[in-house]
Structure 1
Amino acid sequence: MTVLITGGMGFIGLHTTKALVEAGEDVVITYYQTWREPSFIKDEFGKRVTVEKADVSQPAVIEELAKKHNVEHIVHLAVPGVAALSAYEDYRVNMNGLIGVLEAATNAKVKRLSLASSIATYHSLPSGPYKETDLLPVQSANPTETFKKAWEILSFHYADRTGLEVIAMRIGGIWGPLYHSMMNLPSRLAHAAYNGTEPDYSRGIPFAEDTGDVCYVKDCAEGIKLIVTKEKLEHRIYNISSGIAVTNQQLVDAALSVEPNAKLSLQPGKSPAYKENNFLDMSRAESELGFVNKFGPKEAMADYIEWLKEGNEQ
């Protein structure tokens, strides 16, 4: 099987490519401006992995690539940067991109299109655990929550009208090697611990007892691989994350277990934004896909810091 990953040169895309190649699949990944050759996959470039320079915001480009490489499955990971666009441009890029990949997949007779949705779809719920069957409010607090909800509704309607199989992957807070924006806390802690510096708390010092469902990128890639390679799926929506509410203090402790002299501190207690059971329910992915997280906070932190010690900047 050949899989096309839009945004395949991205953080999650490259790890997913590795997971798919190890499962025996051929992969086509796209890039537009950023080229990366991480050690864990570069030897497959030009072999099991084909790299194509392409502006995937253009529907004809995705369709052309899918037909050229006889693609059976598209994983759509390409997204605009957070807070990178004006309101108008955000709407135009997100919605045109969605319509384009749906039409491209249909015209190229792709078997399945898997869309990167997000844990952000649950953001406006008061507490977890968050299940795929939860009813989500129309009101949304941020662009990611807004567009991912809209994508799911519109994609499933399109699928009903065309027969295209569309899967929404509600992906948790992903971190690990190649993560570059440093927006999530565990990545900032890993870099600070390795570099012997204080974490970047320019947006405020985190609270020790606040929690989040953070998932190591290698586990996330495994989840996406299972969705791609599963012959028949029973549902349209799958959570992909750790399924655990990890406290910020646990993340600090994980970093300190690797680098005991690291300069890591937090505010005590819980923030006003604290939520009970703030994690994704993983029972559907576990029972139907056989998904299992292999990296807890300590194992993930040790693996990430070792990656940095090997000379990798991200």
Structure 2
Amino acid sequence: MAVLVTGGAGYIGSHTVAALHERGEEIVIVDNLQQGHRDAILGGKLYVGDLRDEAFLDHVFSENEIDSVIHFAANSLVGESMTNPGKYYHNNVYGTLCLLEAMNKHGVKRIVFSSTAATYGEPERVPIAESDRTMPTNTYGETKLAMEKMMKWFDTAHGIRYVSLRYFNAAGAHESGKIGEDHSPETHLVPIVLQAALGQRSHISVFGEDYSTEDGTCVRDYVHVSDLADAHILAVDRLRREEASAIYNLGSGQGFSVKQVIDIARAVTERDIPVVYEARRSGDPAVLIASSERARQELGWEPKRDKLEDIIRSAWQWHLANPQGYAKA
């Protein structure tokens, strides 16, 4: 029996595929390669196509004995989601509907969902618990919340059990050095800072320095990408034990401001990283820090790579070795 990984050629998806491969799982990957990279796939069988293509999905499910699904495939740029919400509803929400309908048609009853802390919006308290209010401040978070709710009703109607993992800022690179973070355009703070350290950017833009935080810049919770991959596999194991659907936060439990991340990157790289301060971006909450107690207790998840210096160092080593990302010279 195989695990189907949608978006498995992407950043977190590829690290999860690598972890599944390391433990001997049969893996089927679906990715349209809009943002993913063939070279990031370290195991499994790749099908290039779109979740919204019913015939394509039917072919994938018919050709493989799929036991469980891990669902990463989605557009995820907060800024773009605010200017082009239709794209996010069509790809994220409709794409998930197509996936769930295909799962139901083929009798696949387990799905682990890559959700987001953006479902909470501006938090009522820090650290955020799974029971806290969900009120997204951007279209991206709203679509992820809609996807979660859709899974709830497919569970009620069709018995498709789910685990939704709401996590915060993924960072770092695989310990093998073979895979890392490469988006186009790049919008994540850590790789942007490292691109500035490499001289590929003239500066790093900091959006807003008047937030209600200690140094005025946004505070986020950073988790090593391989720790996130481990959590997805633990969630598959939970569903295979026939346990009920659940939602878990994944985070380190500590927050770092944008300025702190830049300072740590300067220390790790021993290079200058120029900064330009700009206006706030629409939809950015001031502070997002997770409580992961439920995931620790019920999934047995324990982050092994929880020091931000080490996370950034692993990313820096990958970027030094792959300054153009996965692009071939």
- What TM-score bracket applies, with the shorter chain setting the length? 0.7 to 0.9
Query: Which of 133, 136, 143 is equivalent to 1:135?
Result: 133
Q: Percent identity?
A: 24
Query: Which of 110, 116, 119 is equivalent to 2:117?
Result: 119
Q: Is the 8 A contact 2:3 2:69 kept in 1?
A: yes
Deviation of residue 69 (structure 1)? 1.3
Deviations 1:134-166 (A, max 9, x none): 2324xx421112112222222201211111112
Query: Which of 254, 271, 283 is equivalent to 2:264?
Result: 254
- Give the TM-score normalised by the residue count of structure 1: 0.85
Q: Any idea what SS the aligned residue of 2:125 has? A: coil
Partner of 2:144: 148
Q: Any idea what SS the aligned residue of 2:70 has? A: strand
Deviation of residue 284 (structure 1)? 1.1
Q: Does 1:307 align with 2:302?
A: no
Q: Any idea what SS the aligned residue of 1:201 has? A: strand
CA distance in 2, matches of 1:234, 1:99: 21
Partner of 1:298: 309
Deviation of residue 203 (structure 1)? 4.7
Partner of 1:186: 190
Partner of 2:50: 55
Q: Is the 8 A contact 1:192 1:263 kept in 2?
A: yes
The amino acid of 2:270's aligned partner reads P
Aligned-pair Cα RMSD in Å: 2.8
Cα separation, partners in 2 of 1:131 and 1:235, compared to 1, 3 Å: farther
Q: Any idea what SS the aligned residue of 1:195 has? A: coil
- Give the TM-score normalised by the residue count of structure 2: 0.81
Deviations 1:220-243 (A, max 9, x none): 112112212333345511112323
CA distance in 2, matches of 1:20, 1:155: 23
The amino acid of 1:61's aligned partner reads F
Number of residue-to-residue matches in the alignment: 302
CA distance in 1, matches of 2:112, 2:170: 17
CA distance in 2, matches of 1:219, 1:260: 26
Query: Which of 209, 212, 217 is equivalent to 2:220?
Result: 212
Any stretches of 5+ residues in structure 2 without a counterpart? 173-179
Q: Is the 8 A contact 1:59 1:97 kept in 2?
A: no
Query: Which of 157, 160, 166 is equivalent to 1:161?
Result: 157
Q: Is the 8 A contact 1:196 1:263 kept in 2?
A: no
Q: Any idea what SS the aligned residue of 2:101 has? A: helix
Q: Does 1:221 align with 2:229?
A: yes
Any stretches of 5+ residues in structure 1 without a counterpart? none
Partner of 2:37: 36
Deviation larger for 84-93 or 187-196: 84-93
Q: Is the 8 A contact 1:122 1:136 kept in 2?
A: yes
CA distance in 1, matches of 2:264, 2:129: 27
CA distance in 1, matches of 2:115, 2:71: 10
